[in-house]
Structures are given as structure tokens and as C-alpha cells.
Amino acid sequence: MKETLYTQTFEVSDMQISLGVSDKGLVFAAPSSDCEKERATYQWLEDTQVTMPFVQYYQQYFNGQLPTISFALDLRGTPFQKQVWETLLTIDYGQVVTYKDIAQKMKRPSAVRAVANAIGKNPILIIVPCHRVIGSNGQLTGFGWGIPLKKKLLTLEKNILSTRAKG
């Protein structure tokens, strides 16, 4: 029997996002078109009461606010993947780092490719900020939801920080 997750699909910034929440926290949040694996893995039970704090986070983010994570994440992956994703959570809003920076921060400097692979499997769009990781040459690379979205997210964050610095 499949594990049941509380789910909701919603639209924000011209994007449909589906998310799934366990009793422990947010398990996944991704563009709806990319959730085939999650649909096959879990039993989906729509529950907007449970999912409301997560939806509000995305609404605030795309409305130019600096939302804080006030809920639990239920990161599911290998111990190494979870370590990578937890390291991503330390990247400040509007900042960018390289895959090499993440590997070094984890004290695994030779694991750059493994770090990139784990980042590519990040199941939680924006909240686990894999979009803030760029190539060593400064190029926008390796974003599972597409480079145009990565650029959009980084530009949004830069503009919000710029506006706040002026005001």
C-alpha cells in the first residue's frame, strides 16, 4: 500500500506547482508537469488545510517578499543527498555559490560531481534552493526545471534585495 501524502496543486507566477506533505513535513514541491514519479509513488489526498503554510510560502516568494521557512521538511533520499540538500538550505536568499563551494562546505572537496548529481535530484523547488548553485565559470547550469526558470528565480531574488536596499 502506498504512503498517503497531503497534496495540493496551485498556480503561482504562471506556474502550476504540486506539493506533497507527510506527517513529518514537506516531501516534494515541483512544477506539476514533473510529478509523474510522485503520482506513482504516493497516494495523493488533497488537503488544503495541511498544505496552506507551504502554498503561502510560494505566494509570498513570488510576490516579492522574503518568506521564512516556518515548517518542517521531510527530506527523502540517501544520507549523502540529504546532507547536500541541508547544505543548500544554508545559502542566503539572493546569493549564488558553485557546486565546488557546496562540496567544500560539506568537507568533501573531491565530491563535486556527486554533489551536482544530488542537487539534480532535489525534490523541493525554491525552498531547497538548488537554483542558487551555478557553474564554476559563473554560468547558469544544471537546473532540472530549466535554465529559464533558474534565471527567473535568481533575477526575482536580486530585484527584491535591490528594492529592499533602496527602501
Q: Residue 156 and residue 41: Cα distance in Å, rounded?
A: 33
The backbone region for 43, taken as left when phi is positive above 0, alpha when psi lies in -120 to 50, beta otherwise, is beta
Q: Out of 5, 128, 130, 154, which one is annotated catalytic?
A: 130
35 is catalytic: no
- As separate numbers, helices (DSSP H) first and strands (DSSP E) second, the chain gives 6, 6
Rounded to 5°, angle at Cα 112 from 75 and 33? 45
Q: How far from the centroid of its chain's Cα atoms is residue 106's Cα?
A: 19
Q: Are strands 26-31 and 133-134 parallel, antiparallel or unpaired?
A: unpaired
Rounded to 5°, angle at Cα 79 from 129 and 43? 75
Q: Which phi and psi (to 5°) does residue 85 adopt?
A: -65, -40
Q: Which residues are catalytic?
A: 130
